[in-house]
Amino acid sequence: MASNPFGLTHFIAHLNVLSLSIIFILILMSVISWTLIISKTFQFWISSWRSKQMLKLFWNTSSLDVIRSCKAHNPFSIVAIEGIHAAIYYETRTHITHICSQNDFIARNLRRAIKDGTAPLTSGLSILATVGSTAPFVGLLGTVLGIYDALIQISMQGSASLDTVAAPVGEALIMTAFGLAVAIPAVLAYNALVRSHRVYLNKLEGFAHDVHTCLNTGARVDLKQMMQKEMTS
């Protein structure tokens, strides 16, 4: 059976070093993109599950000591633990009372906790966005170089028939298809992850506001008793 002169095998067999380098770059970009998509999706799912557990613990426990003993595995636990530590630290360091109020001190620490907690979730998204925006142009570069090489070969053969032109030009256009195949999943995943993180951040900021209110008013637990216990220990 004769080999297809317009197939992918024929295309790969006739690639030069520069075109092979572009193919390698696109494959590497695709591997990085899918690795980030899978890892960030799994990381976000685990963080969301742990955050729900922290929410249940925060609203159902009778003592904040239980929350302080938890490990900071997710942004919600980081916010809760840092907020409690900030309230205790303010009560045990009298010199801070002359600098700022308890409300401002706790709010400042909660804002820092939100940034520290969400930083691991957003890391790597810029790489995903870069892949999504540059992969089509890398593929287009391969197409331009492929068409240029095809025109040189046509001019050397001295023939411009349809059979002579269609094969090399069609092979060159495959590079653009490769670039789009790499870019489209990266763009879709980036938009989905950014939207999910935005929703997650809104919930986290709402939880931080609840923690701030609780620590300043003691509406949920008797925080003063826990602070006295901390100072005497």
pLDDT band at 176 (very low <50, low <70, confident <90, very high): confident
pLDDT band at 161 (very low <50, low <70, confident <90, very high): low
Instruction: State residue 222's pLDDT score.
Output: 46
State yes or no: pLDDT of 192 exceeds 90: yes
Q: Which residue type, as a one-letter code, is found at position 187?
A: V
Across residues 20-47, what is the average pLDDT? 91
Lowest-confidence pick of 6-10, 35-39, 89-93: 6-10
Instruction: State residue 63's pLDDT score.
Output: 67
Q: Which residue type, as a one-letter code, is found at position 137?
A: F
| Predicted structure pTM score | 0.75
State yes or no: pLDDT of 52 exceeds 70: yes
Distance between CA atoms of residues 143 and 173, nearest Å: 5
Residues whose CB falls within 8 Å of the CB of residue 126, separated by 6 or more in sequence, listed in order = none
The domain spans of the chain are 16-48+63-232
Distance between CA atoms of residues 77 and 98, nearest Å: 29
Across residues 133-154, what is the average pLDDT? 83
Q: Where are the alpha helices (DSSP H) in 61-74?
A: 64-68
Distance between CA atoms of residues 110 and 80, nearest Å: 8
